[in-house]
Amino acid sequence: MKLARHSKIIELINEFNIETQEELAGYLKSAGYNVTQATVSRDIRELKLTKIQAEDGRQKYIVVQNKDTDMNRKYIRILKDGFVSMDMAMNILVIKTVSGMAMAVAAALDAMEWNEIVGSIAGDDTIMCAIRSMDDTLIVMEKIKKLLYGEQRGSEDGGR
């Protein structure tokens, strides 16, 4: 019953600009769900709904997509913790890591699902990434630099 109600809540907030718990409860009751304000409040918390400003200036509930963001932060942290240096050989990107971190860093890169990376092989402190092209290798190196150092560092850092 809860799963069906949660699905209905997501359907409703995607269809209507729902501003309050009471409004959401009303829509649910119209759809045949006998809910209390406490149940709706708990559902909002469990679904991690938040409010944003709608086009008309009112507030409306939306589903927060934090899972991917939290996972991306985790992958970036692993990359930052393990990264030592990188260099390219044509369309192969070689990444040096702290000893014992290569597999974790390779898994983090794979999880980011960058289209340019075909696959990775990791040892103890070295990763070899097969990249689609030489141009894509440069793109991946820039992406990694941005993750590690932000926008302020450019190519003058020698690959670190």
For the four alpha carbons of 98, 104, 106 and 112, in that order, the dihedral sign comes to negative
- Let me know whether 106 and 123 are in one domain: yes
Whether pLDDT at 26 is above 90: yes
- Let me know whether 134 and 57 are in one domain: no
- What is the span of the domain harbouring residue 72? 67-157
User: What type of residue is 64?
Assistant: V
Closest CA to 131 of 145, 120, 143, 122: 120
- Let me know whether 123 and 143 are in one domain: yes
Residue the block writes with tokens 């993750």: 147
Count of domains observed in the chain: 2
Predicted local confidence at residue 7, as pLDDT? 84
**Percentage of residues of the chain with pLDDT beyond 90:** 55
Residue range 77-92: mean pLDDT, rounded: 94
Contacts 24+ apart (CB under 8 A), 151-159: 159/85, 159/86, 159/87
- Let me know whether 16 and 86 are in one domain: no
- Let me know whether 82 and 149 are in one domain: yes
Predicted local confidence at residue 156, as pLDDT? 41
Closest CA to 50 of 34, 33, 31, 69: 69
Whether pLDDT at 72 is above 80: no
Average pLDDT over the chain, rounded to an integer: 86
113-158 per-position pLDDT tens digit: 889 999 999 999 999 999 999 999 999 999 999 999 875 444 444 4
Predicted local confidence at residue 151, as pLDDT? 55
- Let me know whether 26 and 92 are in one domain: no
- Let me know whether 36 and 7 are in one domain: yes
